[in-house]
Amino acid sequence: DAPSARLERARARVDLAVICMLLDAGAGPAWHYKDQPGARSLSRSEGLSVAGLRWWASGALSSDPHQPCRADACGLERVLTADLGLALQVAEANPLVGLEARANRLRQLALALKSCPDVYGRPDAPGLLRPGHLIDTLFRLSPTGKVHVDQILSLLLHTLGHVWPGRHEQNGQPIGDCWPHPDAPGGWLPFHQFAQSLTCSLLEPLEDAGLTVSGLDELTGLPDCRNGGLLLDLGLLQARDRAFHTTRWAVDAEPIVEWRALTVAILDHLAEAVRSELGLAPAQLPLVRLQEGGSWAAGRQIAQAKRPGGSPPLHLDSDGTACG
């Protein structure tokens, strides 16, 4: 019937969003993707998103050949790096940075789904674990269909932390995209870029399922290479040391943690300035929308104008957290 078809469509869109988010890390300047022969080449996040869509739709991540547009634990745990390379058109002449890491993250997602059957399973289908069942969990937790954004973010943070093994832990639990800095209160700066970005990507499918999400302006700006690169390229942020732009940094390096923290803070000020100019309240123009319709596109365009291939204005060895 129509309601069940609507719900299944929304589950599929959640599956797809999670897969595309996990594929979307720095691709490197040489990689590109052609959706079909003769089509223009797509690179970086745009290319990875289209490639992820095609791969997911092929049924490669579903355990049921009769339900190809799905990603479930059984399908994800069998992902091979070679198969992912074929799907992303990786070749000697078309290298992709971090191919093995991407395949490993998808297999780690399978483990995360299996470790949280209460979130990613359904009572009527206990053996089917998929990201899309997050919708069913939210309806179970909020029978009225009204969900605050922090409920979504909290679920993602608590259930998907193991997708990135080897990160910092506290009390035996991974703390995700949270990094030490000597001047931070408590010594740590939390960003949770992936979880917040994924929360934004899930808003439309959740609303399509019939959920109403409030509190969007409580999400922070995303300290990624599009937003943070835009601030560097415009001169709103300036490095104290010119070597900042030529050094290859680890994601936990102190200058990178500072750059990301300043990006979050300045985005708040930019949002206030834009709202003031347009006469809008935060609820009418949350930072989520300002990024989607403004800072991300501007960051990409300015990077394309300044550097061949649109590379960011700094070099980062990222694990998919800080650059995309």
Mean pLDDT, to the nearest integer, of 72-100? 96
Residue 168 and residue 263 in one domain: no
Residue 86 and residue 58 in one domain: yes
Per-residue confidence at 274, pLDDT binned at 50, 70, 90?
Answer: very high
User: Can you give the pLDDT at residue 25?
Assistant: 78
Per-residue confidence at 280, pLDDT binned at 50, 70, 90?
Answer: very high
Max CA separation in the chain (angstroms): 62
In whole numbers, what is the pLDDT of the chain averaged over residues? 92
- Determine the Cα–Cα distance for residues 230 and 227; give it in Å rounded to an integer: 5
User: Can you give the pLDDT at residue 149?
Assistant: 96
Residue 139 and residue 244 in one domain: no
Examine the fold and report which residue of 147, 182, 214 is the final residue of a domain before the chain moves on: 214
Examine the fold and report which residue of 182, 214, 246 is the final residue of a domain before the chain moves on: 214
Residue 242 and residue 191 in one domain: no
CA-based nearest residue to 21, from 222, 168, 216, 180:
222
Give the number of other Cβ atoms within 10 Å of residue 314's Cβ: 21
Residue 324 placed within a domain? no
Residue 62 placed within a domain? yes
Residue 167 and residue 205 in one domain: yes
Residue 152 and residue 186 in one domain: yes
Mean pLDDT, to the nearest integer, of 35-62? 92
Ranges 25-34, 111-120, 122-131, 147-156: which has the least confidence: 25-34
Mean pLDDT, to the nearest integer, of 302-321? 82
Residue 219 placed within a domain? no
Q: Which 3-state string (H, E, C) describes 139-177?
A: HHHCCCCEEEHHHHHHHHHHHCHHHCCCCCEECCEECCC
Residue 322 placed within a domain? no
Residue 243 and residue 194 in one domain: no
Q: How far apart are the first and last CA of the chain?
A: 39
- H helices present in the chain, as ranges: 2-23, 44-57, 73-76, 81-87, 99-115, 117-120, 134-141, 149-159, 193-208, 225-233, 254-278, 287-290, 296-306
**With contact defined as beta carbons under 8 Å apart, do 147 and 212 qualify?**
yes
The pLDDT of residue 91 is above 70 = yes
Residue 134 and residue 175 in one domain: yes
User: Can you give the pLDDT at residue 59?
Assistant: 97
Residue 26 placed within a domain? yes
**With contact defined as beta carbons under 8 Å apart, do 94 and 85 qualify?**
no
Task: Say whether 249 sits in a helix, a strand or coil.
Answer: strand
Residue 242 and residue 188 in one domain: no
Q: Percentage of the chain with pLDDT > 90?
A: 75
* Domain total in the chain: 2
Residue 269 placed within a domain? yes
Q: 135-184, pLDDT tens digit by residue?
A: 999 999 999 999 999 999 999 999 998 787 667 888 877 888 899 999 99
Residue 33 placed within a domain? yes
Per-residue confidence at 63, pLDDT binned at 50, 70, 90?
Answer: very high
Residue 51 structural domain: 2-214
The pLDDT of residue 247 is above 80 = yes
The pLDDT of residue 275 is above 70 = yes
CA-based nearest residue to 288, from 266, 271, 269:
271
Residue 73 and residue 197 in one domain: yes
Give the number of other Cβ atoms within 10 Å of residue 272's Cβ: 12
Examine the fold and report which residue of 214, 248, 269 is the final residue of a domain before the chain moves on: 214
Ranges 164-178, 179-193, 235-249: which has the least confidence: 164-178
Residue 246 and residue 203 in one domain: no
Residue 210 and residue 285 in one domain: no
User: Can you give the pLDDT at residue 324?
Assistant: 54
User: Can you give the pLDDT at residue 318?
Assistant: 65
Task: Say whether 214 sits in a helix, a strand or coil.
Answer: strand
User: Can you give the pLDDT at residue 322?
Assistant: 55
User: Can you give the pLDDT at residue 73?
Assistant: 98
Residue 258 placed within a domain? yes
